Structure 1
Amino acid sequence: MAVRKKVGIKDISREAGVAISTVSHVLNGTAPISAEVRARVVDAARRLGYLAERQAKATITALDTVVLAVPDDAIPENEINLFSWTVLNGLTRECERRGVRLVPLTGNGSLTARKIVETAQAESADGVLLLNDDRREVLHGICNAGIPAVLINGEDQEMKIDSVTPGNRFAAQLATNWLISQGHRTILHLTWEGRTTIRRRRDGFIDAFKANDLPLADARVLHAGGYEPKLGEKAIARWLAESGGLDGVTAIFCAADNLALGAMRALHAAGIRIPENVSVMGFDGVALGELVTPPLTTVYVPLNQMGPEALHLLEQRVLANTTERAAHRLELGCKLVIRRSVATLGG
């Protein structure tokens, strides 16, 4: 039986017609290499079987240039978009570490699939990362163009595009289960008409009531006009006025820390003490939750990991080099951060 010769970077160097050092830089992402040379090296490594062998060991950096399509409101660092900014910060650091060139493409309604695809082609990009944008027409257009892509913090319900998202539904159920274990039976879920990812949090909230055989009438849902703190504050103030108070609610579970911060302002303004009169819980784990009074109990989302995980998924898609690879949906686990904004009720 013939023993297969082990392929090394010398073989790839000879096959691609480049220096050994160039092969090393391409495979390890340690220096910028032209798209043409990089493509030759990766193709040679794939033909010789080296790529498949090393791929399993996660030692290949197959990305050179990536287009990042991101909404305008996710770019500035401010108290409203700490979620998106933290995700972008983690992604940027990972790209710098691996020598991947990140090409930002910003816009809101103007970010069409055609514009994203044209930018990717003009930049000779290996793939596209989309942040918070799971519009069906955009996902369809990118998929039909055959460009590798990963959606960050969104869901492709047709499962044609790879995606990375928090485990929203499971985490919301975990949080609500914990509130129930603390003696809370009538809970208000403050949310907004957001994308699918936000609706998953509402679904998890309802799941917990069903799993604990509690009346769904006590799983109340209140919609704010958006996720900004001022909109959460307005929604709770209006609800308090219309209900004549807390109306039996002992805990408010907010679909985002931003909403929780606004809810706390409205409760303080109404003279309602937290957690003595009502408990408040958030979701996201942004830094501001530690600074309010009382410090906010929340669901911690591994925001810094979302970008690197998306980059890894994109790399695996590029390395596979086949349309037969099924779309992957990666959900990251979240955990509870217990602070002082939730009270335990007596039995």
Structure 2
Amino acid sequence: MKPTIKDVARKANVSVATVSRVLNHQSGYSEETKQKVLQAIKEMGYQPNAIARGLINKRTQTIGVLFPKLSSMFSSQLLHGIEYTAHERDHSVVVCNTDKNGKRTVKYLQVLREKQVDGIIFTSEVLTEEYFRVLTAMKIPVVLLSTRSEKYPFPHVKVDDKQAAYDATRYLIQRGHRKIAMISGDQTDPIAGKPRIEGYKEALAAYGIPFQENLLAFGSFGFHSGVMAMEKFLQSKVEFTAVFAASDEMAVGAMSAAFRHGIKVPDQLSVIGYDNLRLAEMTTPPLTTVAQPLFEMGKQAAEMLLQMIETKTEVPGRILPHEIIERQSVARV
């Protein structure tokens, strides 16, 4: 016969209410009591009934996560951090792939509403008025991850994209490069497009380097757009000694195109990426890049969301630090 919560309470010599508070991460007990309860649960092999717990605390112990491109290395590292925290706190994660440009976002928000998730982590996309209306109607906590909104009051977790792009460009300048190309995302994207372009331009201006329109190309953050951007630069015959790519995948695409044209990295061309995906360590040569702490960003977003769920209070947004990871794709001029 399966042990019940009453059996656990009897073995730990505490009340059923105390066991329930420990299981639901509520306050009102000492650390010693908590350890007694956890030990009793472990020894008896007790498995809480999720449906019963939901009826008691009116929660499903489930959070929803929306990703626009679930197959990317970027998304997988964020998700790893989210799931780490969620599982540590006995929560399940429902992951929705909203597809490119958020084609299925509203549909999946409705699905999450039907599943009565306790909160939502909204990742990478621009938060539109339509999404905001649907999320507000759900009346549950929401955290923005790797995105933010000046207009709508949801807390966010991300890095300072403008400063990170500035630092990447400055890194190249300090190594003697003056003709620096950039492969950006969509210039109209207020999250990862426009801020990174601004950081690039401001770094050039700070060091007295004129901005050249023909040294800026746009992509979609993927490998193939990096290839196409590099091909465009090479066909235009514009002179450049270094490239700052606004994602590691685009940086690797640029390196691949350069290789096909017999251009050696870093001897003839220096390349710096953005994100510090595992992919950056696998290239030849290994890619120097701006590191976003993606796993930590996912962890903190989940921690913030669970705090909001449990305390029913708002939390401030967080800007996490970035850093430049030096490898072998940038040479001094």
Q: Same-fold call, TM > 0.5?
A: yes
User: CA offsets, 1:269-315, max 9 Å, x none?
Assistant: 11112112121111111112222221111111111111111112213
Q: Is 1:97 matched up with 2:104? A: no
1:310-325 alignment to 2 at 5 Å?
Answer: 310-321=301-312, 325=314
Q: What SS class does the counterpart of residue 134 from structure 1 fall into?
A: coil
What is the letter of the counterpart of residue 130 of structure 1? Answer: F
1:204-283 alignment to 2 at 5 Å?
Answer: 204-217=199-212, 220-224=215-219, 226-243=220-237, 247-283=238-274
| Matched residue, 1:328 | 316
Q: Is 1:111 matched up with 2:129? A: no
Q: What SS class does the counterpart of residue 275 from structure 2 fall into?
A: coil
| Percent identity for Structure 1 against Structure 2 | 26
| Matched residue, 2:55 | 36
What is the letter of the counterpart of residue 305 of structure 2? Answer: L
RMSD (CA atoms): 2.6
Q: What SS class does the counterpart of residue 69 from structure 1 fall into?
A: strand
Q: Is the 8 A contact 2:245 2:251 kept in 1?
A: yes
Q: Which runs of 5 or more residues in structure 2 are unaligned? A: 1-14, 27-33, 39-46
Q: Which runs of 5 or more residues in structure 1 are unaligned? A: 1-16, 40-61
Instruction: Give 1:26's match in structure 2, choosing from 24, 27, 32.
Output: 24
| Matched residue, 2:167 | 174
User: CA offsets, 1:32-71, max 9 Å, x none?
Assistant: 55223235xxxxxxxxxxxxxxxxxxxxxx9922122233
1:299-314 alignment to 2 at 5 Å?
Answer: 299-314=290-305
Q: How far, CA to CA, are the matches of 1:291 and 1:101 in structure 2?
A: 32
Q: How far, CA to CA, are the matches of 2:208 and 2:225 in structure 1?
A: 32
Q: Is 1:157 matched up with 2:150? A: yes
Q: Is the 8 A contact 1:69 1:104 kept in 2?
A: yes
| Matched residue, 1:13 | none
Q: 1:293 to 1:82 in 2, by over 3 A?
A: same
Q: 1:104 to 1:218 in 2, by over 3 A?
A: closer
Q: How far, CA to CA, are the matches of 1:121 and 1:180 in structure 2?
A: 49
Q: How far, CA to CA, are the matches of 2:167 and 2:57 in structure 1?
A: 46
Deviation at 1:18, TM superposition (A): 5.2
Deviation at 1:222, TM superposition (A): 1.1
What is the letter of the counterpart of residue 111 of structure 1? Answer: T
Q: How far, CA to CA, are the matches of 1:238 and 1:214 in structure 2?
A: 22
Q: Is the 8 A contact 1:134 1:151 kept in 2?
A: no
**TM-score, normalised to structure 2's length?**
0.80
Q: Is the 8 A contact 2:141 2:305 kept in 1?
A: yes
What is the letter of the counterpart of residue 321 of structure 1? Answer: K
Q: How far, CA to CA, are the matches of 1:231 and 1:151 in structure 2?
A: 26
Q: Is the 8 A contact 1:67 1:119 kept in 2?
A: no
Instruction: Give 2:121's match in structure 1, choosing from 129, 139, 147.
Output: 129
Q: Is 1:70 matched up with 2:58? A: no
